[in-house]
Each structure stands twice: as structure tokens, then as C-alpha cells.
Amino acid sequence: MPIRSTSPNSVRRPSVWPGVILYYWDLLPVKNRESIVTLHEGNTPLLRCSNLERVINPDIRLYVKLEGLNPTCSFKDRGMTVAISKAVEEGSRAVLCASTGNTAASAAAYAARAGLKAYVLIPQGSISLGKLSQAMIHGARVIEVEGNFDTALRLVKEATRHFPITLVNSLNPYRLEGQKTAAFEVSDHLGEAPNYHFLPVGNAGNITAYWKGYKQYLEIGRLTSLPKMMGFQAAGAAPIVLGKVVEQPETVASAIRIGNPASWQGALAARDESNGVIDTVTDEEIIAAYKLLANTEGALAEPASAVSVAGVIKKQRERLFRKGDTVVCTLTGHGLKDPDVAIRHSAQSMRISPNLDSLVAIFEREEKK
């Protein structure tokens, strides 16, 4: 007797996700399909966090957008697919960026796929090993600058005035065009805008891009309301909150260790037009949120990403939310970018001799806890 077929021939398989440019084709600036460079970024999960809701506030609906599940494990891929595709369209041969790590990793990967040369400038000794290793293995020319991110960004801006090379920092408007697709996805997923959208703010491109995306969706009738944009900086790197450049930004969240953000004005506009806030959280609050996310939801995000959840906790303390509010946090990058931080903030592993008694002794001790 033939085995009954469970083959999905009769079932409609979901079609393959094509990446953000093809999926949102009408809303993005790429002109020719032939110039698309994609690693099928986007379509990341929007995870309902019922466990965190119980801890923070059972009357809200809390979601996290897992941007660490993009191809190079951060949201930067959404912008990079558009920036690199446009670079190809415009006949560029090489791209350049300054980076706290994730832009470098993403630029390196997309440039490799496009056959372009990539130069990445990183602040000396202060980017995570995961991010550095990505940029290196994808074949980027990695240049360490004796200085911080802001110094590196100033240098690449100058360089593009002297050499025919495409800047792929978020000063490149195509980056923001691609990044706005995350707001489209949140809206498509929820069927409406959330009440609040929390995200970390470093160079401030992402908050600018999300706001652009939400507004565009409202314009074309796919939304009837807009969220309040809730941007958070680390207390030691909070130029927008302080209203002045921070010369020596310092925080455990290396991805937002930025003292003079390029999209400063965009962030202020997002805040003011949406009736949102830009506020700070301390490194202690960031690490607490980072551990809470990992421990209660199984979601591992890098410290900079946990800033968004730390922001929600802070605003809950201030009694901001109403019953039924929908709150979305963007988890911008994957926690495995920086495994050192995870180990530093976890319980030590245990060691035993290889016999059952030792193992049982551990069970008995743990069960009593």
C-alpha cells in the first residue's frame, strides 16, 4: 500500500519572502530589478511578550520586533539592501562607512554580494568581536581609527568629497528609505499602528526612518493613526536629551555610543510630530532589561537593543500607559554579536566529576531554590 502522501502538493506553501525591496517595491526608490542586491532581509518576527507583560504591566500588549534575525543580525540590512542596490544602479565601484559595528557588518556582506569593494572605519578597540569578525570575513577593508565613532564619521564624510566612493552611513538617504520598511511590517502585522513605538537612538537614523514609514503608511491609507515615537539614549551618550554634543560618549551599549548623531533633526521631528519623547536609561537599566528579556522571553538582543525595553520599564514607573495600549519595542541587533556581555552577566557554569552522584547533588540543590 502506498504510504499516504503528506506532501504539501495540495497545500499552498507560502511563497518565498523576496526581501524588502521587492515586497515594498512601490514605496522604495530602486528603479531596475536587475540592480537589486538582497539577502532576503526583513519579514522579521513581531513577538508578543506575555511573560514580560506580567512583569511590567498586564494591561498592555507588548511586542518586540526581532531585527536581530536579519541576515547579518541587525536592522542595518534593511537600509543596506537599498543603499547597495542604488550604488549598483548608479555604477559605483566601492562603498565606505563609519561604524560602531553593525553598519560595517552589513555593508561588508551586501558589498560582497554585489561585487563592490567595502571600506569600513571603526573606532579603535571598541567594537564587539562578533561585528568585527563579520566585516572581516566578508572581505571589507577594515580600518581602525584612533578615536571614537564621531571622529570616524567626520573622516568618511570628508573622504567622500575627495574620492568617488559611495557613503553608506545613514546620511545616505537610501538607507533610511530601506529602514522605514520595519514600520510597514509592524503596521501590516498588527493591522494598525501601535500606540507607542520604543527604540534605541544612536546616530538617530532609525527613529527618523520609522517615523517616515509610519507617516507614509498613513498617507497611502494603510493606517488610520500614528504611534508616539519613544526614543531612548544611554545616559552616558545622550546628546539629544542634553541638547549638546557629547565629546566622550560612554555606555555598555556600544552600538549607540555616539555623541553627535547625524540625524539629530530627524529624531527631534519624530519626537515632536508624534508627541513622543526622547529620554535616557542608565547602563544598569539597560543590562537589567537585557537579562530580563533573555530570561523571561528567550529573546537575546544586544545591549543597545535592550534600551527599548528599559525605556518601557522606565515609562511604566512613570505610569504612562493606559489599559489596552499596544507597545512595540525594536530589538535592533542580535545578542550573539557580543557574547562576552552575555557571559559577564550570567550565573557561572558548574563543574562536576563524571558520576551520577555529583549530578544528582546539583539537581537536589537547585530544586531547593
Q: Which is nearer to ligand PLP, 226 or 301 (CB)?
A: 301
Question: In the bound complex, which residue of the shown chain has the CB atom lying closest to ligand PLP?
Answer: 333
Nearer to ligand PLP, 134 or 203 (CB): 203
* Closest separation in Å from C-beta 98 to ligand PLP: 11
Rounded to a whole number of angstroms, the minimum distance from the CB of residue 162 to ligand PLP is 25
Supply 24's cell numbers: 515594498
Least distance from ligand PLP to the Cβ atom of residue 245, Å: 15
Enumerate residues 6+ apart whose C-beta is below 8 A from 252. 234, 283, 286, 287, 303, 341
Type of residue numbered 33: R
Q: What is the DSSP letter of 255?
A: G
Give the whole-angstrom CA distance, residue 59 versus residue 62: 9
Q: How far is the CB of 258 from ligand PLP (least distance, A)?
A: 7
Can you tell me the distance from the alpha carbon of 322 to that of 316, in angstroms, rounded to the nearest whole number? 10
Binding site for ligand PLP (CB under 6 A): 74, 76, 102, 170, 200-206, 255-256, 302, 304-305, 332-333
Tell me which residue of 197, 232, 200 sits closest to 212, measured CA to CA.
197
Q: Distance between the two ends of the chain, CA-based, in angstroms?
A: 55
Residue 23: its H or E element: helix 20-23
Between CA 224 and CA 199, with CA 221 as vertex, the angle to 5 degrees is: 60
CA–CA gap between residue 194 and residue 334 (Å, rounded): 23
What's the min distance (Å) between Cβ of 103 and ligand PLP?
A: 6
C-alpha cell at 22: 521587492
Measured from the CB of residue 151, what is the shortest distance to ligand PLP in angstroms? 16
Nearer to ligand PLP, 38 or 254 (CB): 254
The crossing angle, in degrees rounded to 10, of helices 129-137 and 102-114 is 20
The cell for 180 is 522605514
Task: For the CB of residue 190, give the shortest distance to ligand PLP in the complex, in Å.
Answer: 22
**Unique residue bearing C-alpha cell 508624534:** 274
Spatial distance between the Cα atoms of 47 and 63, rounded to a whole number of angstroms: 5
Single-letter amino acid, residue 1? M
- Least Cβ distance, residue 369 to ligand PLP (angstroms): 34
